[in-house]
Structure 1
């Protein structure tokens, strides 16, 4: 039950930030889909590293 509530809150958060973070959310979804299908862990870590490099707040 708690897990379902957390998932719903995350979905609401993504909808609320849809205009601002749509591309970033889409990138994460694609990363996990590709990871499940074909990618190796090393490739996903490399892409997430590039993601943090381009989109970090620092």
Structure 2
């Protein structure tokens, strides 16, 4: 039940930020929903940082 509420809130956030880059928002949502314990938090931060740098020109 809590997971469904979180997903709905993320979708609402996604809709409200239409002007922002869809790829970054979608990547953030997927990274939080599909977060698994095998992946270290530092690795996830590094990935998100690389992704932001890659799309920073169109953000």
Q: TM-score range by the shorter chain?
A: 0.5 to 0.7
Gaps of 5+ in 2: 1-8
User: Normalising to structure 1: TM-score of the pair?
Assistant: 0.53
Which 4+ runs in 1 deviate beyond 3 A?
none
Unaligned residue ranges in structure 1 (runs of 5+): 1-7
TM-score (norm 2): 0.52
Q: Which has the higher contact order (CA 8 A, sep 6+)?
A: 2
CA RMSD of aligned residues (A): 2.8
Name whichever structure is richer in helix by fraction. 1
Please identify the structure whose Cα radius of gyration is greater: 1
